[in-house]
Amino acid sequence: MTDAGVPLMPPNDAQGAPKAGSGPEAGKHYRVLARKYRPSSFEDLIGQDAVVRTVSNAFETGRIPQAWILTGVRGVGKTTTARILARALNYELPDGSVKGPTIHMPMLGVHCQAIMESRHMDVLEMDAASHTGVDDVRQINDSVRYAPASARYKVYIIDEVHMLSTAAFNAFLKTLEEPPEHAKFVFATTEIRKVPVTVLSRCQRFDLRRVEADVLMKHLGSIAAKENVEVEPEALGIIARAAEGSVRDSLSLFDQAIAHAAGLVRADAVRQMLGLADRTRVIDLFDSLARGDITSAFGEFREQYDVGADPIVVLSDLAEFVNFVTRVKVIPGIADNVAFSETERLRGRDFAAKLSMRVLSRMFQMLLKGIAEAQVATRPVAAAEMVLVRIAYVADMPTPDEAIRMIEQNGGASSPVTAETAAPRSAPAPTMSAAQPSSARMSSAPRTNAEASPRPQMIAQASDAQAAPSARRIASFPELVALAAEKRDLQTKAALEADVRLVRIEDGRLEVAMERSAARTLINDLSRKLEQWTGRRWTVIVSNEAGQPTVRSLNEAARNQRERAAEADPRVQEVLARFPGAKVVEVRRLAPEPPESDASGEDPAETPDSDDP
């Protein structure tokens, strides 16, 4: 790297060594790209603007903490940033013009070369993965008391700090909280959750983010220009995406691609090196699946497999492209990202316009499940083919609501289906009844029994309610079930619905017949709970009469009746014919209940003459 024209370390060309791949002597002085182009100043860091801004403001205002902790995935620059911080803290020019820490380092200072080469005596680097014990921390605690030999600050850089033992962390706490003024600590870790909170609270934390693929592409392109390497832009995009935000990984892969190509770095060569499927062919496979053309999809998949593509990688690339199309559908501007090839961007826009979100999400879920199945299968290629079969089979299959909409649109206003279904929509029948709570669904039968009771009894109940306004009045069995649900006594509610057959009910008196499955303590428990819930004493009697059917049996009968009526509907029969093996599971009311006629009888045409809903 260079800083304003001043080389930090002499490049290979300056040493007279030939370029990589130019001869047998090249390997003697060759340094890998990840080391050769390691940043040496904050200006060289890519994709970490938040860190640079925070450190810059801290240095300018003199608010420099005693400890930093840097976290992020591998290869984003944690150790490099720690060395740059050490260099900025101790930056000093030979003429003494710089009096304190600064992030502006236009040229090499007195200590810069030694710090960046990890050989400065006042900047100590320790790998916590191999120094995990209390003795290693004790050495730091003993040496931190002494002033730096030549630099402004003593800087301790501890990499992979989460590897320290619990005892070592505890031994570090006091020194970390109150270090000498001349000591600074910089920690780096990939597992921030493994660092004790007591340590985190004593440090200023920086989260180094993954570098975006387009930023990595520009970085790799500039390095290729410096190395005089010809590379296709699509190849840079493949490497940038494969690095998953890691700068070091991208440089290592680029180094490998240069050696693999031995000349122009082509996208096909990079795919072959990484074991990736051809992106264009993956898009062709996606197109076949979206059209439901399983024959074409099988042929394309087999051709990719024959040239060495891993079946699991092909499925993973398919899932990645489905995700890309979905993102383009939600945010069209994503298709302008140069990290994706022109083919991906153009065809991604086309697919995003044609395919619905429901189809894309369904395909993505099937691919996720299929990848897991292929990973554990004894023959991954066969498992992958079965995944493709499932996706192609459901590609053009409409959802049930779409099928009904299609039938209605094809039938037209004058179709017999519309004419037959007009009456149930205007006056809802059991065919389209909604799945209501059991207490509401079964209110019709107990309500009939209540209406059959003598009128004087109803008057007596009303007078009781007026006499005791604080007590709750229960006039029907559905009200009793609803009261149990209101009190959130699910056990009692379930027993009332499944184990109790109503004989008769009055306010304060309940006469029932019991099923064989009823608990022995149900009567006593019910009497006690009714007294608590209503504020009056209840008499619960077990009768020898058969009583009415249970609420559960009535619910099941009503549900069966609705399902049979629904299956008899011509529209439903046509849907079932289009989906072999489908069946009616539940019938819900789509239209609201018609308003009941008022007592004045202003609209006698809508007044029902029976108890039908």
Question: In Å, how far are 335, 430, 452, 458 from 610, measured between CA atoms?
Answer: 63, 14, 14, 22
What pLDDT, on the 0 to 100 scale, is given for residue 411? 54
SS (H, E, C) 231-252: ECHHHHHHHHHHHCCCHHHHHH
- How would you classify the pairing of strands 67-71 and 183-189? parallel
What pLDDT, on the 0 to 100 scale, is given for residue 213? 84
Burial profile 433-463: b = 16 or more Cβ within 10 angstroms, e = fewer: bbeeebbebbbebbeeebeeeeeeeeeebee
Query: Residue 575: helix, strand or coil by DSSP?
Result: helix
SS (H, E, C) 9-52: CCCCCCCCCCCCCCCCCHHHHCCCHHHHCCCCCHHHCCCCHHHH
What pLDDT, on the 0 to 100 scale, is given for residue 156? 92
CATH class of 2-207: alpha beta
What pLDDT, on the 0 to 100 scale, is given for residue 369? 92
What pLDDT, on the 0 to 100 scale, is given for residue 590? 66
pLDDT along the chain (613 residues), means of 10: 38 40 52 86 84 84 88 87 90 81 84 87 88 87 89 90 90 88 91 90 88 88 90 87 86 89 83 73 88 87 83 90 91 80 82 86 91 91 91 74 68 40 35 37 38 39 42 80 83 83 82 81 82 82 82 82 80 80 74 50 45 42
* CATH number of the 213-274 domain: 1.10.8.60
Q: In what order do the strands lie in the sheet with 500-506?
A: 500-506, 509-514, 539-542
What pLDDT, on the 0 to 100 scale, is given for residue 28? 57
Are the C-beta atoms of 392 and 294 separated by less than 8 Å? yes
For residue 182, give both structure tokens. Answer: 């001349």
Tokens 């459901």: give the residue: 394
What pLDDT, on the 0 to 100 scale, is given for residue 117? 85
Task: Provide the angle, in degrees to the nearest 10, between the axes of the packed helices 247-261 and 213-226.
Answer: 50
Q: For residues 439 and 551, what is the distance between their CA atoms, to the nearest angstrom?
A: 8
What pLDDT, on the 0 to 100 scale, is given for residue 401? 64
What pLDDT, on the 0 to 100 scale, is given for residue 69? 92
Residue 130's CB is within 10 A of a number of other CB atoms, namely 10
The CATH-assigned architecture of domain 279-393 is Up-down Bundle (1.20)
Are the C-beta atoms of 4 and 106 separated by less than 8 Å? yes
Q: Which DSSP letter does residue 443 get?
A: T
Residue ranges of the domains in the chain? 2-207, 213-274, 279-393, 438-553
